[in-house]
Amino acid sequence: MKKRGLFHYSAIYSSGINPKGFHPSQLKFYILLLPLAALMLLPIIFIFSNAFKPPDELFAFPPRFFVINPTFKNFSDLFSTMSTSGIPVSRYLFNSIVIALVTILASILVSSTAAYALSKLNFKLKKTIFSVNTIALMFVPIAVTIPRFLIINGLGMIDTFWVHILPALAMPVGLFLLKQFIDVIPNEVIEAARIDGASDFQIYRRIILPLIRPAIATIAILTFQATWNDAGISSLYINKEGLKTFAFYLSTLTATTSTGANTVAGQGIAAAAALILFLPNLIIFILLQSQVMSTMSHSGLKG
């Protein structure tokens, strides 16, 4: 009797939502997913394959998708060339790394303090701020490029390091996800600390921060993707070549290769640069994916 019950349960839990193991009923999903995933993966594989192709394979006819004799030549070419304005490529890469790190740290600080206040503290404008932020979730920055440019220009932020960082810190999705995550922390924990004499800042540092690590990891990823991949800020707001980002450098490579001026050398280093630009996104996401998923459980938006 007991045994039958167990068997019955294991059958249920290996089919349906979130099964514990393999079940023949899952086969149809694999048959559907495998070709689709393979097709979607092709451009990603191409980034890898292309970056390691020697020149004769890059321009082979008929073109070959996969690399045959992989080489690091494109990468050494990339770092030995200078941009047209005489800035070494490593400078762009250095800028991108510094900008990404500073923005991630600042974004975590700015969003998590605000999220804690909006979730657990009482003040008059609390509801207003959160609902304005929720409306701003659907803000499309690209739509207001021009007034944004005028404001940044008016603030004298053109050609400064700050223009890379400060606009990226106002991230409605980040604040929203953090606030939803903090909502789940029971109020009793905070009340107990307050009775013990902890101030709001101490509660934030000692209790909230350690508990919201998954949400912080998620904010870090979203901020990283937004800043690391961005070429727009460098092209709109930065005239000094030494302050521009790696993503911007890559965009100049594709622009020159299309005119055919330095096609042969250009395509190899563009392929290498594309891989360097993409790879950190992938690695960071793989490392933090379980944290992201647990944050997303709280992402619900009530209309």
Partner 1 sequence: MQTSLSQEFELEVPKENKRNSGFQHWLKKEGSAYSMVSMYVILFLIFIAAPVVVAGLLSFTNFDTIQFPRFIGLKNYITLLTQDDIFMKYVLPNTLQFAAIVGPGGYILSFLLAWILAQLPKLPRTIFALILYSPSMTSGVAMAVVWKTLFSGDQTGYLNSFLLGLNIIQEPIQWLQSPQYLMVIMILVTLWSSMGVGFLAMLAGLLDVNPELYEAARIDGIKNRFQEIIYITIPSMRPQMLFGAVMALVSTFQAGAIGVVLSGSNPTPQYAGQLIVNHIEDYGFLRYEMGYAAAVSVVLLIMVLLLDRLAVNLFSSEDYL
The set of residues, in sequence order, having a beta carbon less than 8 Å from that of 45 and lying 6+ positions away, is 65, 66
Rounded-to-integer distance, Cα 26 and Cα 20, Å: 12
Residues 38-97 binding partner 1 (CB under 8 A) are: 40-41, 43-44, 46-47, 50, 59, 61-63, 65
Q: How many CA atoms lie within 13 A of 262 on its CB side?
A: 13
CA neighbor of 80 nearest in space, from 265, 212, 245: 265
**Pairwise CA distance, residues 59 & 250, whole Å:** 20
> Taking the complex as a whole, how short is the minimal distance between the CB of residue 112 and partner 1, in angstroms?
9
CB of 40 to partner 1, least distance (A): 6
Nearer to partner 1, 68 or 144 (CB): 144
Whether the CA torsion 73, 75, 76, 79 is positive or negative: it is positive
In whole angstroms, give the CA distance from residue 208 to residue 206. 6
The kind and range of the H/E element at 189 are: helix 187-195
Among 167, 190, 219, 233, binds partner 1 (CB under 8 A): 167
* Site pattern 111..130 for partner 1 (x: CB under 8 A): x-xx-xxx--xxxxxx--x-
Interaction pattern, residues 11-30, with partner 1; x per rule: CB under 8 A: ---xxxxxxxxx---x--xx
DSSP classification of residue 59: T
Q: Counting every residue, how long is the chain?
A: 303
264 binds partner 1 (CB under 8 A): no
Residues 6+ apart with CB under 8 A from 148: 141, 167
- Say if CB 97 and CB 161 are below 8 A apart: no
Q: How far apart are CA 116 and CA 17, in angstroms?
A: 33
State the minimum distance, in angstroms, from the CB of residue 55 to partner 1: 14
145 binds partner 1 (CB under 8 A): yes
The piece of 75-83, 85-93, 94-102, 272-280 that touches partner 1 (CB under 8 A) is: 272-280
The residue among 187 and 258 lying less far from partner 1, judged by its C-beta, is: 258
- Using CB under 8 A, pick the residue from 89, 133, 164, 217 that binds partner 1: 133
Which of positions 174-233 make contact with partner 1 (CB under 8 A)? 175, 199-201, 204, 222, 225, 228-231
- Written as one letter, the residue type at 66 is F
Annotate each residue in 283-302 with x if it binds partner 1 (CB under 8 A) or - if it does not, as one string.
Answer: --xx--x--xxx-xx-xxxx
Q: Which stretch binds partner 1 (CB under 8 A): 74-82, 92-100, 141-149, 209-217?
A: 141-149
Closer to partner 1 by Cβ: residue 189 or 276: 276
Q: Contact between 242 and partner 1 (CB under 8 A)?
A: no
243/268 with CB nearer partner 1: 268
Q: How far apart are CA 204 and CA 96, in angstroms?
A: 30
Which stretch, 75-83, 97-105, 163-171, 185-193, contacts partner 1 (CB under 8 A)? 163-171
- 140 touching partner 1, by CB under 8 A: yes
Q: How far apart are CA 211 and CA 132, in angstroms?
A: 26
Nearest approach, Cβ of residue 58 and partner 1 (Å): 9
Task: Give the residue with the Cβ less far from partner 1, 118 or 238.
Answer: 118
Crossing angle of helices 89-120 and 172-183, rounded to 10°? 40
Q: According to CB under 8 A, which one of 93, 212, 238, 277 is a site residue for partner 1?
A: 277
Residue 155 found at the interface with partner 1 (CB under 8 A): yes
